[in-house]
Structure 1
């Protein structure tokens, strides 16, 4: 099964506000379970906006210990969400032919699991935590959590 199709199917199972960790793993297909075991998205946060190092809201997550790496993600940034008032657009998953390369910062941390509720509250109703694919500068590909525009409240 294609990488992007698996992510799309997993994202369909994530409710509008609950993140990936609320999915009942036993209800996933064997392919999806293997995919999750391999990429372990609960310990990965992809950031493209105000929470990134050196940006206005990084102080909100600097208590989360981990390793930062840079790379890109595929999708589209749109002039929506509360971050757009600060000059930071919101992320949307898009069809392959509409995707752009977006600069990303990826945080790998075992502390994320204890901080998802805090981060969900910070991002608010206008954003939904989904899974997305990233590619690090060294070419490594993986999946992680990302805050995307919540289309359910558009």
Structure 2
């Protein structure tokens, strides 16, 4: 299996990483709000996350730059997609910007448990044709009721994962969500190579807050 190696260049500066981690946390919270049909809060969180990225990247541009690289790129993307002089910015458009900025993480799934090749539940994704690489995510694995649960922590250790990259993956995510159930929550996470550089952003199933709080199930 191939090893992950550093990808998108703007993700690489270590000074930008705190902003990246904070933005991803807001995007993940926005996804929860979207699932709970709180679109206004989801929009606000995605916008806030994009502003965090804008601030982090702008602060580390060349001194001759205007610090507005990300904003101009996003505006251009929105206008191309909408075909309008003034783009329409709704939740769907904002998620499109996030996908575009992170080089479409919807096509990548970081796997650490029973979905891996050779494991009993790999059959759930066996039909998906794609490329597999090895990488690492920061956090830890806990075991509950005989199942592994990933808990993300940017200051945590490096947990090895297998990453499936496939344009077929988006069509299967809802089915995988149903299989994983309410004890797992699909989130975005940076994936690192063996040298500690960020390879890309991917989806991963981590422990859900609903696992130990049955009241949240209703």
1:147 aligns with 2:201: no
Q: Report the TM-score when normalising by structure 2.
A: 0.58
Q: Which has the higher helix share?
A: 2
**TM-score for both structures, normalised by structure 1:** 0.79
Question: 2:107·2:169 contact (CA, 8 Å) conserved in 1?
Answer: yes
Residues of 1 paired with 2:128 and 2:118: CA distance? 15
Q: Which has the higher strand share?
A: 1
1:129 aligns with 2:186: yes
Contact persistence 1:64–1:112 (CA under 8 A): yes
Larger CA Rg, structure 1 vs 2: 2
Between Structure 1 and Structure 2, how many residues are aligned?
142
* Off by >4 Å, runs of 4+ in structure 1: 30-35, 137-140
Whole-angstrom CA distance in 1 between matches of 2:152 and 2:106: 19
Q: Note the aligned Cα RMSD (angstroms).
A: 2.6
- Show the counterpart of 2:120: 56
Mapped to 2, the partners of 1:41 and 1:140 lie a distance apart of 13
Give me the whole-angstrom Cα distance separating, in 2, the residues matched to 1:128 and 1:17: 13
Taking structure 1 as reference, are residues 46 and 93 closer, same or farther at Cα in structure 2, changes over 3 Å only?
A: same
* Alignment partner of 1:92 out of 151, 154, 168: 151
Higher relative contact order (CA 8 A, sep 6+): 1
Unaligned runs of 5+ in 1: none
The match for 1:43 is 107
Q: Secondary structure at the match of 2:128?
A: coil
Deviation at 1:4, TM superposition (A): 0.9
Give the C-alpha shift of residue 46 in structure 1.
0.6
Contact 1:69-1:106 at 8 Å conserved across structures: yes
